[in-house]
């Protein structure tokens, strides 16, 4: 069983975030689309709901706790306390490990890890007060195998997300809130094609045991499943979707 619910998706302006937001909206959720690109999420929200009754965009910097506090306030003003949070926002960068600059390292960690930690903290507390919530954190294969095409700072941040997921899962389980992670490998998304040079992408695909890039729509389906009412018995888990690149 699944209730309609109220979902907040970060990094929803495009790519995986937009695919997830569309899926949750199609399933009957009211969806608040959050992103640094306010114009893009406003446009997508208008496409999904012309009158704004079931989808709205909000420009937020989720690299800081204040951004989540603002997002929670906006959501409560529109519809009430959210029942779903999808922490999808992230910075994806390739970089040489041994010459990686401190500022670049800090910037990626602040965005990728802060957005997960404070999202779980701020929204998790509000959900726990209501006795129900579903949080899904978007991790990555890079956080499990040390990364391939991405930089060490990205891999380190995604590894931290997996631990953060476990920490909040333990904290919130008894109050009706589940916290899980989804860990995709390379998927057929613009960010993959931007990050990986065209002359190397073919080799990366050849190295995937199933022989092809993943489908973003399946990730959205997975998020929808983990955020359903009946998903109460899954928490602290990491769901691997990597084409066989990492088997455990």
Catalytically annotated residues: 154
**CA angle (210, 212, 216) in 5-degree steps:** 110
Contact residues for 247 (Cβ-Cβ < 8 A; gap 6+): none
Q: Write a three-state SS string for 150-214.
A: CCHHHHHHHHHHHHHHHHHHHHHHHHCEEEEEEEECCECCHHHHHHCCHHHHHHHHHCCCCCCCE
Q: Which helix (H) or strand (E) holds 133?
A: strand 133-138
Bridge-partner residues for 86, per DSSP? Answer: 9, 136
Neighbours of 28 (CB within 10 A): 11
CA distance 150 to 74: 34
Q: What distance in Å separates the CA atoms of residue 199 and residue 212, rounded to the nearest whole number?
A: 16
| Cβ-Cβ contacts under 8 Å for 62 (sequence gap 6 or more) | 10, 11, 34, 68, 71, 87, 89, 111, 114, 115, 118, 119
**Contact yes or no for 196/177 (Cβ under 8 A):** no
């Amino acid at each position: 069983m699944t209730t309609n619910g109220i979902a907040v998706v970060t990094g929803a302006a495009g790519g995986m975030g937009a695919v997830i937001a569309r899926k949750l909206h199609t399933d009957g959720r009211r969806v608040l689309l959050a992103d640094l690109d306010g114009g893009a999420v406003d446009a997508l929200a208008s496409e999904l709901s012309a009158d704004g009754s079931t989808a709205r965009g909000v420009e937020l910097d989720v690299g800081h706790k204040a951004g989540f506090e603002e997002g929670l306030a906006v959501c409560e003003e529109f519809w009430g306390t959210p029942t779903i949070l999808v922490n999808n926002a992230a910075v994806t960068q390739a970089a040489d490990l041994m010459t990686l600059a401190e500022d670049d390292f800090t910037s990626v960690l602040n965005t990728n890890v802060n957005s997960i930690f404070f999202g779980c903290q701020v929204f998790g507390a509000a959900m726990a007060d209501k006795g129900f919530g579903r949080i899904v954190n978007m991790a990555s294969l890079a956080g499990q195998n040390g990364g391939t095409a991405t930089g060490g700072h990205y891999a380190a941040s995604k590894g931290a997300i997996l631990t953060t997921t476990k920490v909040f899962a333990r904290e919130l389980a008894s109050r009706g809130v589940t916290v899980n992670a989804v860990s995709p490998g390379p998927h057929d998304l613009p960010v993959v094609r931007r990050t990986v040079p065209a002359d190397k992408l073919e080799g990366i695909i050849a190295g995937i045991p199933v022989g092809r890039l993943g489908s973003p729509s399946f990730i959205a389906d997975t998020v929808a499943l983990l955020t359903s009412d009946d998903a109460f018995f899954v928490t602290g888990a990491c769901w691997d979707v990597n084409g066989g690149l990492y088997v455990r």
